[in-house]
Structure 1
Amino acid sequence: MKTAREWGLMPESRLAVGPDNAITDVSGVAVGHRSLRGDGIFTGVTAVLPHQGDLFLAKPRAAVEVINGFGKSAGLMQVAELGTIETPILLTNTFGVAACTEALIRRAIAANPAIGRKTSTVNPLVCECNDGSINDIQALAVTPDDAMAALDAARPGPVEQGAVGAGSGMTAFGFKAGIGTASRVMRIAKRDFTLGTLVLANFGAAGDLVLPDGRRPDPRVPATPERGSVIVIMATDLPLGDRQLQRVARRGGAGLARLGAFWGHGSGDVVLCFTTADPVAHDTAAPITSQQRLSDDHIDLAFRAATEATQEAVLNALCLAPATPARNGRVYPAMADWLKENQNP
């Protein structure tokens, strides 16, 4: 299957694309999937590792933007308050949050036995979307072992996209969707910096999708209220302060809006943005520390990168997912099939 760029859907950008056009273009970031298939089971887990070291000891700085808070994620409140990440980020279905939370806690304790006894507890970070239209979510199929498998599978480099991992049972705008990713390169002060996004796309009412060329694909499925969700994970190596990270995260909403999303009442839309620059040490004797911070005079480049990469990541999730039957017998069509039938001359 072809990406959105290979379909010619992405217009010329002022910003270059990273070598793999993926969140893993940010050095140190790795992604892994665990896909579950079985009788009525079509779900999984996707892991995002901000760096290859011990995240509890070297905490990436981060911010969260809750666009619409109809969701059951774990750990976002502490990220909003303290501005750091302490574990890998796991994505899964709504009823898989507890299993993934347990896996992250056990993994952190195995690496740092002092957690919860001689030092602080750990903040496991899990985000979710409801894949119940395709997956039998009541089966509680995701286990801590599945979460561990996704973590163990995490690698840098190209990212598998579409109906994989947490994206297995997700849909968007009436089409089959799932995991998508994209990146942009920013030239600042004669240095190249990268911003990448990975999305778990499960949002948008059928018929609302707007492609970059203005076309509005009709998936020919019954119209339903906007009750989906989308999780956007945003990574960069730009040195950004806490306030700046949230401002950049907010521009993920601009990328979603370009696609026709309006964040309906029942939609859970969350953007988590972290930087690999200047992580925060868990233990430090220094009462005062210093961190680099981008001048706001250059932050528009990051805003543009966040918007473009989010938009393209969602389109990739749509373009790379095959047609899939739902639990009620209907089929969520593939965007690729619509594009084949409606190619521009």
Structure 2
Amino acid sequence: MDLIDCEIFDNLAFDIENKALSLLVLIDGIMVKIMVEKRRRFRDLGVEIGTLPTGQYNAITDVSGVEVGHCTVIQDNPNTLRTGVTAILPLGRNKVWSHGLFAGCSVFNGYGEMTGRGWLEEAGQLSSPILLTSYYGVGAVHRGINQLCDDIDIHSGTHPIVAETWDGWLSDPNAFALTTEHVEKALNDADSGPVEEGCVGGGTGMVCHDFKAGIGTSSRKVEIEGETYTLGVLVQANYGDRSDFRVNGVSVGAKIPASEVPVPDRKKVPHTEDGSIIIVVATDAPLLSKQCDRLAKRAVLGLGRAGGFGHNGSGDYVVAFSTGNILNLREEGLHQDIKALPEKDINLLFHAVVEATEEAIVNSVCQATTTEGYKGRVVYELPLEVLKSIMSSE
């Protein structure tokens, strides 16, 4: 991104409520005080979504073994790029190719692309990373993950999941800039622990409810028959109108007019489309494939609570997997000791996926920052103090 030549002095300070970073900047010989709002997650504003407790990081990585990494691509020459790749490793890097899981998927509205869905629907197994990127990067990312497979000759039965949302408003759609190197960087960046959110990885160029958005995550913990299980959600959010944006039942978008925060006019450019969202659900509760399908279907209820309608031009895809049974795909013989929750006991997981999906979407917006991109287009961040004021007044 092009930056103004400036000298940043060492007198930096947060204001008394830790709302903003105050810094003195010398621009063309003139000292200017700039207040930069500190981006925070939704819960950091003192408001909670739902009633179930979160995991340690309130992230998909609260499910033991799950790792997330990003490769963020920001450049202005020779092409304007605001794009990238996000990698979710369901069992971490050590078992990424050799082991599989029971998994499922759901499509709310199918105006989008997700590779590997046929095998998910056919066999209900997942044995590769899940990669999120731009519409224009699907081919390159799919090729990259296949080139990086540790057994290129047979691919260990893998059918890589590569899912997309469209970032062509802020990133040059004709650059086709993503390569195997970017996929490798995302995989190498993958780790457990806190997950970076907002304008990172596949979410770098995304817009949600006419605010800057991107990657968001959240988690919930439930107790079933004396056992505690964790469910986590990660989203790449790129859909929706300002007027429809709701947070915990509050019509936030309707209370922030375009005169206060400008609305990008991307919907005026043919074709008129509504954007998309990818939702990845992980849980350590022992579920079979069909149960993962059921979990994936419920995730869109969280999308609906945030203001998503599955419009005609929206690609709304969900992948759900369970780490409760680990399948060794490189050994002969039967899969042993398979466990599964009874159907009558999974209602709390349905509640968890709805709550976590809604909060992950809100976090994707809260953590994103104002971004200028392709053709000088600007998408503005959601002002967090305004959000906090709206929520506290309800």
Relative to the length of structure 2, the TM-score reads: 0.81
Give the letter aligned to residue 173 of structure 1.
Answer: H
SS where residue 61 of structure 1 aligns? strand
Equivalent residue runs for 1:165-204 within 5 Å? 165-204=201-240
Answer whether contact 1:18 1:184 (CA < 8 A) is retained.
Answer: yes
Match of 1:2 in 2: 40
Bigger RCO (CA 8 Å, 6+ sep): 1
Equivalent residue runs for 1:268-283 within 5 Å? 268-283=315-330
Relative to the length of structure 1, the TM-score reads: 0.93
Answer whether contact 2:147 2:180 (CA < 8 A) is retained.
Answer: no
| Residue 183 (structure 2) pairs with residue 147 (structure 1) | yes
Answer whether contact 2:81 2:374 (CA < 8 A) is retained.
Answer: no
CA distance in 1, matches of 2:388, 2:359: 19
Moved more, 301-310 or 120-129: 120-129
- The number of residue pairs the alignment matches comes to 339
Match of 2:90 in 1: 50
Post-superposition Cα deviations, 1:6-49, rounded to whole Å, max 9, x if no partner, equal: 123424x3311000000000000000011001111111111100
SS where residue 64 of structure 2 aligns? coil
Give the letter aligned to residue 5 of structure 1.
Answer: R
Post-superposition Cα deviations, 1:210-247, rounded to whole Å, max 9, x if no partner, equal: 12151332351258455200000110000001111111
Match of 1:83 in 2: 124
Q: Cα offset for 1:173?
A: 0.5
CA distance in 1, matches of 2:157, 2:65: 25
Of residues 321, 331, 337 in structure 1, which corresponds to 2:378?
331
Post-superposition Cα deviations, 1:258-284, rounded to whole Å, max 9, x if no partner, equal: 011111101000010001121222244
CA distance in 2, matches of 1:219, 1:269: 26
Moved more, 143-152 or 209-218: 209-218
Answer whether contact 1:176 1:335 (CA < 8 A) is retained.
Answer: yes
* Cα distance, 1:46–1:141 mapped onto 2, change above 3 Å: same
Match of 2:151 in 1: 112
CA distance in 1, matches of 2:250, 2:199: 25
* Cα distance, 1:170–1:113 mapped onto 2, change above 3 Å: closer
CA distance in 2, matches of 1:125, 1:270: 11
Give the letter aligned to residue 82 of structure 2.
Answer: F
Q: Cα offset for 1:170?
A: 0.2
Match of 2:294 in 1: 247
* Cα distance, 1:36–1:70 mapped onto 2, change above 3 Å: same
| Residue 31 (structure 2) pairs with residue 31 (structure 1) | no
CA distance in 2, matches of 1:205, 1:66: 20
SS where residue 318 of structure 1 aligns? helix
CA distance in 2, matches of 1:223, 1:144: 30
Match of 2:57 in 1: 20
CA distance in 2, matches of 1:223, 1:147: 28
Give identity over the alignment, percent. 38
SS where residue 365 of structure 2 aligns? helix
Structure 2 alignment gaps of length 5 or more: 1-38
Answer whether contact 2:127 2:157 (CA < 8 A) is retained.
Answer: no
Q: Cα offset for 1:154?
A: 0.2
CA distance in 1, matches of 2:334, 2:192: 35
Give the letter aligned to residue 298 of structure 1.
Answer: D
Answer whether contact 2:250 2:391 (CA < 8 A) is retained.
Answer: no
